[in-house]
Amino acid sequence: MKRRGAAAAGEEREKDAKKQKLLQELGESQLPYLMPKDDGFHQLWKTKYSKLVLKNAGEIPQEVHTAVEEAFLTLLKCGCFFQDLVRIKGKDFVTPVSRILIGNPGCTYKYLNTRLFTVPWPVESYEINYSRPEISRACKALIKLNEYLHRETVQALQQQNLAETKEIEDWAVMDRHQDYATSITEMGSTLRDQSPFRLLKNDCADLKERTSYNLTLLNYMDPQEMSSLKREPYFGMGKMAVSWHHDENLVERSTVAVYSYSCEESATDNLEEDAPKGRDPAVWHVGLKVAWDIKTPGLAIPLRQGDCYFMLDDLNMTHQHCVLAGRQPRFSSTHRVAECSQGTLQYILSECKTALQNLHTETDSGHLSLKPLDVKDIKQVEETHNEVEFEWLRQFWFQGKRYRKCTDWWDEPIAALEEFWRQMELMTSLLLSEIRKEEHTEGQRNERIRCLLSLIMERQKLREEWLTRCHSQLAESLPEDEKPECRPYWQQDDPNMLLPFNLEDVIIELENLLKTVEC
């Protein structure tokens, strides 16, 4: 909210144009892709996809499979999976895949302009009420899976680092001739920083940061309930549950670990057809390709019940992946290190508190007034006002009452944020009164008006957009407890509100003030 916008939209348009050009160049033809049964698969994997690591179900302890299977089935039975009404390039779509986010309390994860809020998994010093005991058990199973995948990831990265370690060893051998024992401690910092030892020091901290999964996004889809899945456009890999993409909003170079659980076909459904040409449409696969590269063949990796895969290091940046649908329902648990510097409850509460420090309450009368604000303060207060309204409250209520299904954890924090937002509405109205008083020099006043105006214009634009989204045909077609709520919303004549929901008149007033001063 604070630092994105036009640049990101421009990037998106550029990517889209590139994608269209690529598809045009391809015409009717299709690019090659390999599967494990194909000649050359292992060579291609080793050379172009080495940061993809697979772990077959058979290599994973049975108790992990048993607990995770039970967790998936419980969450499905309790109605905890929801299709998201996401926004791509200004248009709304319902995802074919249903999801639930589970993770550290107070954490959120944003994908396709949708902020999902974690159903908290049990961590020390948090008391969490789940709506049913079996949901509590499911969350416990998923944090245990998280710990298991974390350990496996560290091991996989350490194995991949062997090559780097070898380089360090070679360096040390070379250095031994110059009294190796003293060289590490005594060499100057410049030399030490240029040497491969720098890698060792950084690797420890980075390894932890890039593998400490703070949440998992669970997916569920039954392809037989989905009438119109898209076909994979470049390679002819068949129907997709999720199109080609990079996972968004992750800590740079962090791993994504995926546990995949596809339900098994009954013997009667499982009639082998004549050796099919491409990938088997009955089996779920993950597809991979090198981003913006049509020379390197793609990969389609079959995923049997309980298989795991790891996208290590920068694989998610350099490559794109898609999920190719099989015939039977499938769950997955995708463990991520979400980049949440602006995505935790702790963060937004602290921003609100900073903003509200500019509101003074008189001890005896309780009378509220604004402390003197310079342009920098106005910017902080009004940006936080927009951030809490559009990145938290509207995002939360757009998802209906879904979070109540599993836990009441978010009720109190959202109520607190709503109260802070109310106080910020008061601050905006007090600020408008101040500006109307003309107590500053012309230059100062103009600067303050411009600052406030641009943030109020953004507020108005986003309110219109959210109001439209909440009443779109797609939104209205969702089941009752998933229906988006446009909140906060109030009528023009609401006596409890200091400013109107529709800010057009305020914008006109501020524009006129600017014009008057400039004339």
- Do the Cβ atoms of 319 and 291 come closer than 8 Å? yes
> Minimum CB separation from ligand A4F for residue 230, in Å?
5
Q: What is the C-alpha separation between 422 and 355, in angstroms, rounded?
A: 12
Residue labelled with tokens 């950084």: 202
Write out the two tokens for 348: 């937004």
Please say which residue, 189 or 228, places its beta carbon nearer to ligand A4F: 228
How would you classify the pairing of strands 285-290 and 91-103? Answer: unpaired
Please say which residue, 74 or 316, places its beta carbon nearer to ligand A4F: 316
Residues whose CB falls within 8 Å of the CB of residue 305, separated by 6 or more in sequence, listed in order:
57, 260, 261, 262, 263, 264
Q: With CB under 6 A as the contact rule, which of the stretches 89-97, 142-150, 312-320, 511-519 interacts with ligand A4F?
A: 89-97
**455 contributes a contact to ligand A4F by CB under 6 A:** no
Contacting ligand A4F within 235-254 (CB under 6 A): 242-243, 245
Query: Quick one: residue 511, left, alpha or beta (phi over 0 = left, psi -120 to 50 = alpha)?
Result: alpha
**45 contributes a contact to ligand A4F by CB under 6 A:** no
Residues whose CB falls within 8 Å of the CB of residue 448, separated by 6 or more in sequence, listed in order:
375, 378, 435, 440
Q: With CB under 6 A as the contact rule, which of the stretches 86-94, 342-350, 420-428, 453-461 interacts with ligand A4F?
A: 86-94
Q: With CB under 6 A as the contact rule, which of the stretches 33-41, 92-100, 252-260, 470-478 interacts with ligand A4F?
A: 92-100
| Segment (H or E) for 333 | strand 330-336
> Minimum CB separation from ligand A4F for residue 229, in Å?
8
Binding residue (CB under 6 A) for ligand A4F from 93, 171, 490, 501: 93
Q: What is the C-alpha separation between 37 and 40, in angstroms, rounded?
A: 9
179 secondary structure, DSSP code: T
Q: What is the C-alpha separation between 294 and 128, in angstroms, rounded?
A: 49
Please say which residue, 161 or 243, places its beta carbon nearer to ligand A4F: 243
Please say which residue, 95 or 344, places its beta carbon nearer to ligand A4F: 95
Please say which residue, 197 or 310, places its beta carbon nearer to ligand A4F: 310
Coil, strand or helix: which one is 368?
A: strand
Q: Cis ω on the peptide bond leading into residue 495 (within 30° of 0)? A: no
Binding mask 317-356 for ligand A4F (x = CB under 6 A): ----------------------------------------
Please say which residue, 199 or 478, places its beta carbon nearer to ligand A4F: 478
Binding residue (CB under 6 A) for ligand A4F from 2, 151, 230, 471: 230
Please say which residue, 76 or 242, places its beta carbon nearer to ligand A4F: 242
Please say which residue, 113 or 212, places its beta carbon nearer to ligand A4F: 113
**111 contributes a contact to ligand A4F by CB under 6 A:** yes
**86 contributes a contact to ligand A4F by CB under 6 A:** yes
Query: Which amino acid, 153?
Result: T
How would you classify the pairing of strands 215-221 and 91-103? Answer: antiparallel
> Minimum CB separation from ligand A4F for residue 80, in Å?
18
265 secondary structure, DSSP code: P
Residue 290's DSSP bridge partners are: 319
Site of interaction with ligand A4F (CB under 6 A):
86, 88, 93-96, 111-112, 230, 242-243, 245
